[in-house]
Structure 1
Amino acid sequence: MVNFIVYSYLFFLFPEFFETIGKNIKLSIVVGAIFYIAGLILYPIEAQGPLLQYKMLLSGHNDIFRFPILQYMPVFLFGLNMGWLLRVSKNAVEKRKIIFKFIAILAVLPLTVFILQATNSTIYIQHFLNFDRWPPSLPFLALGVAFSLGSFFVVIKNSNIDKIPYAYEFLIKIGKSAYLYYIVHLVLLQIYEIVIGHRDSSPVFYLVATFILFILTTNIIKRFSEKDRS
């Protein structure tokens, strides 16, 4: 949760800097890459005492699971780009086109990873072409953001989503409150652990599970909407 707080404070401390980045996708990619690479460089460095605590927050450390600020910075900057583009878009059709383009771009990386691993390609580079969560690899970040955008695409495509009792208000509250988002994601993880409780490092399992979850999520949204229309 610390990274949410840090990102929020950074935005308030340097509003002009992040506003400029939010309006410039190319600059956002460059800055995000710098932060991400800095996190990768810092991650294997040994640290002790108080320095270890700061290192865990910035880049992560071995088996101590944290959401590193440096490696997740590209996701934060990506969100700024999306927010700006959606704000300046004129209508829902343009919003859907923007989201669809971003989904297509993000989907290229995980699909490339899957193909390279399935064909045992010699181009394979372990960290950049692997679905690692600690520290987060690029495919892991890309697939996570693509899943969120895909669900969002279904939501805004359905014009009646704002008429579903409680669902729309709940989604809005989650989007506005980082703390509520954190709590909800913990609840979902606990449900997963209780119901399934299975861990698998296979990229095939990861992609299939993500696809199934996406289908279930979008179908729930559609069914609620159809029920509301009837």
Structure 2
Amino acid sequence: MKRDYHLDTVKGLAVIAMSFVHVNIFFLNTSNAILDSITKWGAISCFSAFLLISGILVGKSISNEKKPSWFKTVKKIFFIYLVYLIIGLLSWYVTQGSLSISEIDRIIILNELPLLSEYLINFLLLYLLFKVFYECLKKLSNSIILTMLVSVGIYALGHYLYSIDFLSEVWFKGLFVGIGDYHYFPLFQYLPIYLLGIYLGRKGKKEYYIYAFVLVLISYFAIKIFNLSPWRRFPPSPLFLTQSLLIPLSILALLKGFKVETRFKIIEHFAKKSLLSLLLLTVITLFAALFLPQNVNILYVWGINIAVLLITAVLLQAYKKASKMV
């Protein structure tokens, strides 16, 4: 499948923005207009950008009749889970100050989803979903009406299950529909973004990206103006979900609409091995949080953000060269 550099640009920007968000969680203690804006919009948009692009790539695979094998599916799931464990265990130790055997057990079985690692589990589940429901997704993504109806139905089901009190003690509820204000990214409420991505990947033409952006933009303002939904991140409300798509969809619509051929190779560098990029960026950030003082000035925060990106870029380049030698 031919590489789509427009997708790499958006994914790379999302990876970089997520790095800023994670660094700023630990080190940004005073107000700064630029860093505050990056943190705000990164926290809102990054996960949705990853979901959307993941869906688009699935849609392209379906169009090319590339049904995933169980071997590739299990391999991808294994690596995502491994990255989740590395980040999760380190994150728990950094944020909690200790890591007991029982805590390790809970993290392993997903009873606890530590800070900075929880979003990865969704992609593990989505790879499994793609394999098991390949034929259903293939039929569904042929129709925008069917895609929208199923998306609304799944979101409504997630919202309903979230409201059922007796499920609150079931630990895996957070994975699928959310629990309270935990930093979980419930699969059901976010699945419409993934399904939209699959539809766009199936269609491929620039017009569909423009239409999708216009539709999301109109939906966002309609929901906001008529007060149809509150702004809520955990679990995500319709207003939040539409807002979270504005940046990634607008960039894609512009790149594809104007047929931009300019390559942003520095940004793409973080997208080509996105899982490895996220692992390196997050681990470096966590070690920085563990060993560096956190009550620092703005210039120091900027320095840490840039240093994390530069170190990761160097390591990614070293990995690329080493891979060619093997």
How far the C-alpha of 1:53 sits from its partner, in A, is 1.3
After the TM superposition, list the runs of 4 or more consecutive aligned residues in structure 1 that deviate by more than 2 angstroms: 46-49, 113-116, 153-162, 164-174, 179-187
Aligned to 1:150: 250
CA contact (8 A) 1:47 1:55 kept: no
How far the C-alpha of 1:183 sits from its partner, in A, is 7.4
2:208 counterpart of 1:101: no
Aligned equivalents of 1:167, 1:161: Cα separation in 2: 12
- Structure 1, residues 111-133: CA drift from partner, whole Å, max 9, x if none? 123323xxxxxxx44xxx22211
Aligned to 1:227: none
Give 3-state SS (helix, strand or coil) of 2:137's partner.
Answer: helix
Aligned equivalents of 2:125, 2:223: Cα separation in 1: 31
Aligned to 2:172: 54
- Structure 1, residues 25-57: CA drift from partner, whole Å, max 9, x if none? 1111111111111111111222469x5211111
Number of equivalenced pairs: 167
Give 3-state SS (helix, strand or coil) of 1:102's partner.
Answer: helix
Aligned equivalents of 2:155, 2:279: Cα separation in 1: 22
Aligned equivalents of 1:183, 1:72: Cα separation in 2: 26
Of residues 76, 83, 90, the one that matches 2:194 is: 76
Give 3-state SS (helix, strand or coil) of 2:165's partner.
Answer: coil
- Return 5+ residue gaps in structure 1 as ranges: 90-94, 117-123, 196-230
How far the C-alpha of 1:173 sits from its partner, in A, is 4.0
1:109-148 maps to which residues of 2 (within 5 A)? 109-116=219-226, 124-125=227-228, 129-148=229-248
Aligned equivalents of 1:180, 1:53: Cα separation in 2: 29
**Identity across aligned pairs (percent)?**
22
1:1-230 maps to which residues of 2 (within 5 A)? 1-47=120-166, 52-86=170-204, 89=205, 95=206, 97-116=207-226, 124-125=227-228, 129-156=229-256, 157=258, 159-162=260-263, 164-174=264-274, 177=275, 180=277
CA contact (8 A) 1:155 1:161 kept: no
- Structure 1, residues 185-212: CA drift from partner, whole Å, max 9, x if none? 997xx9xxx96xxxxxxxxxxxxxxxxx
How far the C-alpha of 1:184 sits from its partner, in A, is 6.5
Aligned equivalents of 1:184, 1:144: Cα separation in 2: 22
CA contact (8 A) 2:213 2:253 kept: no
Aligned equivalents of 2:138, 2:282: Cα separation in 1: 28
Aligned to 1:212: none
Aligned equivalents of 2:140, 2:130: Cα separation in 1: 11
2:124 partner letter: I
- Return 5+ residue gaps in structure 2 as ranges: 1-119, 290-296, 299-326
What TM-score, normalized by structure 1, do the two folds share? 0.63
Q: Tell me which of the two structures has the higher relative contact order, counting C-alpha pairs closer than 8 angstroms and 6 or more residues apart.
A: 2
CA contact (8 A) 2:220 2:239 kept: yes
Task: Label 1:147 to 1:61 Cα distance change in 2 as closer, same or farther (>3 A).
Answer: same
How far the C-alpha of 1:146 sits from its partner, in A, is 2.6
What TM-score, normalized by structure 2, do the two folds share? 0.46
- Structure 1, residues 2-46: CA drift from partner, whole Å, max 9, x if none? 111111111011211111112221111111111111111111222
Aligned equivalents of 1:159, 1:8: Cα separation in 2: 30
Kindly report the root-mean-square deviation, in angstroms, between the aligned alpha carbons of the 2 structures: 2.9
CA contact (8 A) 1:100 1:153 kept: yes
CA contact (8 A) 2:144 2:199 kept: yes
